[in-house]
Amino acid sequence: MYGQDEWLSPARVQKPAYSPCLPGFLFSVGYGIMIVAGGGIIGLSCAWRLAQRGVPVTVFDAREIGAEASWAGAGMLSPGGEAESDSPFSRMAVASLAQYGDFVEELQNASGIAIDFSRCGAMEFAFTDEEALALDRRVAGQTALGICSEAAGPRRRFYPDDALVDPRDVVSALRVACAREGVTFREHEPVGEIAGDEEVLIAAGAWSSALLPAKLPHSVPVRGHLIAFDGSGLRLHHMLRQSHTYIVQRARTGRIIAGSSTEHVGFDRRIDDAITRDIHSRAARLLPALADLTPSERWNGFRPALAEGTGPVLERVEGTNIWTAYGHYRNGILLAPETARIITAMFMHDREIMEKS
Ligand SMILES: Cc1cc2nc3c(=O)[nH]c(=O)nc-3n(C[C@H](O)[C@H](O)[C@H](O)COP(=O)(O)OP(=O)(O)OC[C@H]3O[C@@H](n4cnc5c(N)ncnc54)[C@H](O)[C@@H]3O)c2cc1C
């Protein structure tokens, strides 16, 4: 059974092998402070939960807080879009979705910031017989995981529990909630390669492994584009998706967002016209009313993937006080609450054991 225990095995708890040695620019934050490298949704969620447990936290970001993948994401909270069989990822996705409503409510109360969140469900379409078979084939595995879906007509399945959140609202709220718990922020201050035994949580998304290249699974950026339509007058009752094409609507503004693409181009931020045109035409197949509209905005972001295997990498690096929370790839918005729960539980558990020994 998946749960906290899976992450708290005795093998994970070790005393640090290094003597204290902080990189120069970190001296000013002081020893005993947890340094979070990366202020995306993952770093901020962990910072918030750790600070709630009394851990002094400073979040460093190479740019502004929340300006990378967590700003770019669509915000679909859809384990059924990807999870097909039992795995640590699929169990984590289901567990994270189950706590999202409470997470959002607590965050709104803690920050005073309204978060656009709805359990709108998702309609998944198959365009070919092969896709229809693949949709049907995954039902048994998904049902066993607790992911519900129902047939909704020929070549369609409806996922009633899928939800949608605006990740930009979540990041804004996390920032305020963190500050209210005493977290301090250092923006435009990248953390360099880590050498000593300061307590650091590496949550730098696609850039993470560069902070400890010899010891960490290699993180890579997978670029994805999205396009938006404002003022369309359209009203969607749920998310629409077909394979990796999807359409969602922000409840507060009516903005429609369509995605996406999967590109291995490194950290190239240029908007690719051909790719955004392709997204528009795929989206118009799902929702023909989009065909005659012109996108009001186009953007891209770097999903934090791993060069090998699947993430996320949630662990303490052996023999150090360095923790990792990265590699959430397509699902970091979904996985944020559960990631923060696991990291906080592991960290507090280790600290307790080390204080006793
Ligand atoms: C187009 C697109 C659509 C997506 N749609 C969804 C979706 O619908 N649902 C979903 O769940 N997920 C989605 N995702 C994935 C999701 O956005 C990511 O998995 C998630 O945002 C990762 O969060 P993060 O905090 O790990 O990374 P980031 O948000 O990238 O944050 C990492 C932070 O680390 C900082 N940093 C980098 N280097 C350093 C350094 N040396 N020192 C300090 N800071 C550093 C960066 O500036 C950045 O702010 C999507 C992603 C993209 C690109």
In a domain, 152, yes or no: no
In a domain, 91, yes or no: yes
In a domain, 155, yes or no: no
In a domain, 124, yes or no: no
Domain count, the chain: 2
Indicate if 169 and 84 belong to the same structural domain: yes
CA of 357 to the centre of ligand 1 (A): 37
In a domain, 154, yes or no: no
> d(Cα 98, Cα 288) in Å, to the nearest integer?
33
Does residue 280 contact residue 157 with C-beta atoms inside 8 Å? Answer: no
pLDDT score recorded for residue 197: 63
Indicate if 91 and 232 belong to the same structural domain: no
**265 is in which domain, residue-wise?**
221-302
Indicate if 62 and 171 belong to the same structural domain: yes
* Ligand 1 pocket residue status of 337, Cβ below 6 Å: no
In a domain, 339, yes or no: yes
pLDDT digits (tens, 9 = 90+) for 314-355: 999 988 899 999 999 999 999 999 999 999 999 998 888 777
Indicate if 86 and 231 belong to the same structural domain: no
pLDDT score recorded for residue 29: 40
* Ligand 1 pocket residue status of 44, Cβ below 6 Å: no
In a domain, 167, yes or no: yes
Amino acid at 197: D
Helices (H), the chain: 4-7, 41-52, 69-72, 88-111, 129-145, 167-180, 273-286, 332-356
The CATH number of whichever domain residue 247 belongs to comes to 3.30.9.10
* Ligand 1 pocket residue status of 81, Cβ below 6 Å: no
First to last CA, the chain: 29
pLDDT digits (tens, 9 = 90+) for 280-289: 999 999 999 9
| Domain stop point among 286, 302, 318 | 302
> d(Cα 51, Cα 164) in Å, to the nearest integer?
27
Does residue 225 contact residue 299 with C-beta atoms inside 8 Å? Answer: yes
* Ligand 1 pocket residue status of 117, Cβ below 6 Å: no
Does residue 51 contact residue 284 with C-beta atoms inside 8 Å? Answer: no
What phi and psi values does residue 227 have, to the nearest 5 degrees? -130, 150
Tens digits of pLDDT across the chain (357 residues): 233 445 444 333 333 322 223 333 333 344 468 999 999 999 999 999 999 999 999 999 999 999 999 999 999 999 988 888 999 999 999 999 999 999 999 999 999 999 999 999 999 999 999 999 989 899 989 999 999 999 998 899 999 999 999 999 999 999 999 999 999 999 999 999 887 667 999 999 999 999 999 999 999 999 999 999 999 999 999 999 998 899 999 999 999 999 999 999 999 999 999 999 999 999 999 999 999 999 999 999 999 999 998 999 999 998 889 999 999 999 999 999 999 999 999 999 888 877 787
Indicate if 87 and 236 belong to the same structural domain: no
pLDDT digits (tens, 9 = 90+) for 112-138: 999 999 999 999 999 999 999 989 899
> d(Cα 190, Cα 184) in Å, to the nearest integer?
15
Does residue 110 contact residue 174 with C-beta atoms inside 8 Å? Answer: no
Indicate if 23 and 74 belong to the same structural domain: yes
Question: What's the length of the chain?
Answer: 357
- Nearest ligand 1 atom, CA 223: 53
Indicate if 234 and 290 belong to the same structural domain: yes
Dihedral, 261, 209, 207, 17 alpha carbons, nearest 10 = 150
Indicate if 297 and 314 belong to the same structural domain: no
- Helix, strand, or coil here: 82? coil
- Nearest ligand 1 atom, CA 42: 25
Burial 324-356 (b: 16+ CB within 10 A, else e): bbbbbbbbbbbbbbbbbbbbbbbbbebeeeeee
pLDDT digits (tens, 9 = 90+) for 171-180: 999 999 999 9
> d(Cα 256, Cα 66) in Å, to the nearest integer?
21
pLDDT score recorded for residue 105: 98
Indicate if 187 and 246 belong to the same structural domain: no
Tally Cβ neighbours within 10 Å of residue 268: 11
pLDDT score recorded for residue 277: 98
| Domain stop point among 273, 302, 331 | 302
pLDDT score recorded for residue 350: 83
pLDDT score recorded for residue 27: 34
Tally Cβ neighbours within 10 Å of residue 231: 11
* Ligand 1 pocket residue status of 73, Cβ below 6 Å: yes
Does residue 239 contact residue 162 with C-beta atoms inside 8 Å? Answer: yes
Residue 153: in which H helix or E strand, if any? Answer: none
Indicate if 35 and 109 belong to the same structural domain: yes
> d(Cα 24, Cα 231) in Å, to the nearest integer?
51
Q: Residue whose CA is closest, atom 15 of ligand 1? A: 330
Preceding amide of 208 cis, omega within 30: no
Tally Cβ neighbours within 10 Å of residue 32: 9
> d(Cα 333, Cα 77) in Å, to the nearest integer?
7
| Domain stop point among 282, 302, 322 | 302
Indicate if 193 and 239 belong to the same structural domain: no
Indicate if 261 and 320 belong to the same structural domain: no
The CATH number of whichever domain residue 192 belongs to comes to 3.50.50.60
CA of 226 to the centre of ligand 1 (A): 14
> d(Cα 81, Cα 160) in Å, to the nearest integer?
12
Tally Cβ neighbours within 10 Å of residue 59: 30
* Ligand 1 pocket residue status of 303, Cβ below 6 Å: yes
In a domain, 165, yes or no: yes
